[in-house]
A and B are shown apart, each in its own frame.
Chain A
Amino acid sequence: MSERATVDASEEIPPSEWGRRQPLPSVGPWAFAVVVGLLVIGRLVFAQYLTAPALQAWATIFVAICVQALPFLVFGVLLSAAITAFVPASFWTRALPRRPFLAVPVAGAAGAVLPGCECASVPVASGLMSRGVTPAAALAFLLASPAINPVVIVATVVAFPGQPMMAVARFGASLVVAVLAGWVWLRFGRAEWLRIPARAGGEGSKWRTFQDAMGHDFLHAGGFLVVGGATAATMNVIVPRSWLESVAGVPVLSVLALAALAVILSICSEADAFVAASLTAFSPTAKLAFLVVGPMVDLKLIALQAGTFGRRFAARFIPLTFVLAVIVSMAVGEVLL
């Protein structure tokens, strides 16, 4: 039990079942048997009726988002569990500048080395926090890494042939937003808003710690990813794109429209440049806003962050990031594009 003591540092936010025994520990396997039964019966009986085109399109997009995010999520969770189990906490105090004010930009720039999309960065950031990294620095890393890593930058260069400034602007604007958001959190954020997921550690073998951290993180983050994927698929099917085209020519509104589209579509940051390039009616600044907002704020990320760090954190941090991302995109777009 002693290894769970750290959990209670943030009593109010964790879901009620954390650190407590289920009232009926044996209910899970039975519920599971029901799930499997429903799968078998459903496939035999209902599958032939589930053929409405809108439902099928929804299901395709929903499954596509989940399936596409899975490798990144597994990679992120593996890395996070490895950080928890095998990297000693002292490593981070040596690797990052001691003063939090300096640690934020260093952590943000370090995001450039993790090739992955936003689903991977949430578990990694949470692993860093639970290993004693300043939350503001881990948050800067969380925001920067899906937008500025080499894979994403190369994809952006490929998607915008002849416009290398788009990739430069994306890199610069994303890093600036991440660092600013980190600093704002450092200055105004309160510890009680943020739930730092506690890890079992110290006792037991390292491999067991690794395995437990991995299973727990994957199920937890995966569950919220499903929430985000379902919401994004719903919006994708019911919101007509023609609404967007109507504001393409209006200066500020077009930027806000594409920023909002980035939130709704929840496209993986490694693919969003191709979608941005196809939105030909919009100005380069609006496309830049799409590329900067997308990896930092989208429906599946909102679900993931709220699930990992708590709702009180998400309710403050997500609007902050969104506003910063839009303002910085407009400024950078004005100068570079």
Chain B
Amino acid sequence: MNRLTQSMILVLLGGAVLRITTLSTTYLNYVKPGFRPFLIAAGAVVFVLGVIGLIQEWRGSTETEHHHDHGHAPRVAWLLTLPVFAIYLIAPPALGAFSAKSEDAPAQPVAALDAYDTLPAGKVTDMTIGEFIGRAYGDSSKSLSGRQVKLTGFAVPSAKKKDRWYVARIQIACCAADGIALKVAVLDAAMPPENTWVEVTGTWREPKSGKLPVGTVAPELDAISVTGIPQPVEPYE
């Protein structure tokens, strides 16, 4: 692989990264929003490196001979076009029902605290699924009981029970590879088509046995309404 090809691969890769970060919000399917400046910087460095290489190659035909020798990169560099192919051809969407289904045991939310604020009565509170699970699992003051909350997520059928379904959201710490599915069972409502995004309003159903066994059963929600919505810009929690 000579310098010309190397530079072209750099331009292609840098361009693809700049495209998903500056021209669209596609990057949110892969990483946390806070990652954007770093991605733009890295994409720009790679892109500029490629462009400089191209310009040097274009102008300096006499110089080319001199630099040809250490201009070689191994063939493995061609593999860097694979992510570019994946981005353009498959256009990978955010992780959804497929990934949430494969782990049926609900994950415990990260950092369950025992210091939640009380929720206002007679009002619907918007809440992340992670917070809902945290309050359901770990809140000794039972701040959820009797309060109406609104959860946003996608619909996932239960792998085991036939009529059961969950409103789920993937929580990521850094990138989609470390995604954990958070799920809340929705009761008294018909399941929308799998993987559609919904807002579910309802109240927490307290488990009969007192405290939930941590990390074994998803908390349950008595639904009042289930509304279909478009996918949020930020697909992960």
Decide if B175 touches A223 in the complex (CB within 8 Å): no
Which of these, A19, A47, A219, A220, contacts B91 with CB under 8 Å?
A47
Distance between Cα atoms of A159 and B105 in the complex (Å): 20
A73–B43 CA distance with the chains assembled, in angstroms: 11
17 contacts between A and B (CB under 8 A): A15-B74, A19-B69, A21-B68, A32-B8, A47-B90, A50-B90, A57-B95, A59-B92, A60-B95, A68-B35, A71-B38, A161-B111, A200-B70, A215-B6, A219-B9, A240-B102, A277-B111
Q: Which residues of A does B touch, CB under 8 Å?
A: 1, 3-4, 15, 17-22, 25, 28-29, 31-32, 35-36, 38-39, 42-43, 46-47, 50, 53-57, 59-68, 70-71, 73-75, 78, 158-159, 161, 200, 208, 211-212, 214-216, 218-220, 222-224, 226-227, 229-230, 232-233, 236, 240-242, 245, 265-268, 270-275, 277-278, 280-281, 307
Whole-angstrom CA separation of A15 from B1 in the bound complex: 12
Report the Cα distance A62→B96, complex, angstroms.
15
Q: Are B42 and A215 in contact (CB under 8 A)?
A: no
- Report the Cα distance A214→B81, complex, angstroms: 18
B5 in the interface (beta carbon within 8 A): yes
Check B104 for interface membership: any CB of A closer than 8 A. yes
Q: B108 interface residue, CB < 8 Å from A?
A: yes
CB neighbours of B84 from chain A (8 A): 39
Pick the contact of B76: A67, A211, A227, A229 (CB < 8 A).
A227
Q: Please pick, from A55, A64, A227, the residue contacting B79 in the complex, using a CB distance under 8 A.
A: A227
Q: Using CB atoms, name the residue of chain A closest to B95.
A: A60
With A32-B5, A50-B90, A218-B10 in contact, is A18–B83 under 8 Å at CB? no
Instruction: List the 5 closest A-B pairs by CB distance, nearest first.
Output: A271-B174, A28-B5, A223-B76, A274-B173, A64-B176
Q: Which residue of B lies closest to A212 (CB)?
A: B70
| A54–B92 CA distance with the chains assembled, in angstroms | 11
- Residues 9 to 39 of chain B near chain A (Cβ within 8 Å): 9-10, 12-13, 17, 20, 27, 29-31, 35, 38-39
Asked whether any CB of chain A lies closer than 8 Å to the CB of B93, the reply is yes
Least Cβ–Cβ distance between A37 and chain B, in angstroms: 12
Known contacts A28-B5, A219-B77, A242-B105; A68/B175 CB under 8 A: yes
User: B98 in the interface, Cβ–Cβ < 8 Å?
Assistant: yes
Q: A47-B88, A241-B102 are in contact. List 11 more A-B contacts (CB 8 A).
A: A15-B76, A18-B72, A47-B91, A53-B98, A57-B95, A60-B176, A215-B10, A216-B70, A236-B177, A240-B102, A266-B177
Interface status of B129 (Cβ within 8 A of chain A): no
What are the residues of chain B within 8 A of A64 when measuring CB–CB? 29-31, 175-177
Task: Give which listed residue, B30, B76, B88, contacts A224 with CB less than 8 A.
Answer: B76
For B38, list chain A residues within 8 Å (CB): 71
- Do residues A65 and B175 form an inter-chain contact, with CB atoms below 8 A? yes
Count contacts on B: residues with CB < 8 A to the other chain.
81
Would you give the shortest CB distance from B94 to chain A, in whole angstroms? 7
Question: Separation in Å of the A94 CB from the closest CB of chain B?
Answer: 28
Q: Is B4 an interface residue (CB 8 A)?
A: yes
Interface, chain B (partner A; CB < 8 A): 1-10, 12-13, 17, 20, 27, 29-31, 35, 38-39, 41-43, 45-46, 49, 52-53, 67-99, 102-105, 107-111, 113, 173-178, 180, 214-215
B86: chain A residues within 8 A (beta carbon): 59, 62-63
Asked if B75 contacts A42 (CB within 8 A), the reply is: no
Given contact pairs A211-B49, A212-B70, A230-B82, A70 touches B43 in the complex (Cβ within 8 A): yes
A39 and B4 contact, CB distance less than 8 A = no
B89 touches A43 (CB 8 A): yes
Are A215 and B49 in contact, CB atoms less than 8 angstroms apart?
yes
Within the complex, the shortest CB–CB distance from A166 to chain B, in Å, comes to 13
CB distance from A47 to the nearest CB of B (A): 5
Smallest Cβ distance from A126 to chain B, in angstroms?
14
Find the residue from A15, A28, A208, A281 having the highest chain B CB count within 10 A: A28
Beta-carbon contact of A17 and B111 below 8 Å: no
When the two chains form their complex, are residues B77 and A220 in contact, meaning their CB atoms are under 8 A apart?
A: yes
Contact indicator B102/A43 (Cβ below 8 Å): no
A20 CA / B70 CA spacing, docked (Å):
9
Q: Which residues of B contact A220 (CB under 8 A)?
A: 73-74, 76-77
> What residues on A are CB-neighbors of B102 within 8 Å?
240-241
The distance in angstroms between the C-alpha atoms of A220 and B13, with both chains bound, is 14
User: Given that A15-B74, A67-B39, A219-B73 are contacting pairs, would A275 and B89 also be in contact in the complex, using a CB cutoff of 8 Å?
Assistant: no
A212, A224, A245: which contacts B71 (Cβ < 8 A)?
A212
The CA-CA distance from A218 to B92 in the complex, in Å, is 24
Residues of A within 8 A of B91 (CB): 47
Q: Which of B31, B52, B97, B178 contacts A211 (CB 8 A)?
A: B52
Tell whether, in the assembled complex, residue A223 and residue B78 are in contact, meaning their CB atoms are under 8 Å apart.
Answer: yes
Q: Are A275 and B178 in contact (CB under 8 A)?
A: yes
Q: Please give the distance in Å from B59's CB to the nearest CB on chain A.
A: 14
Residues of B within 8 A of A214 (CB): 49
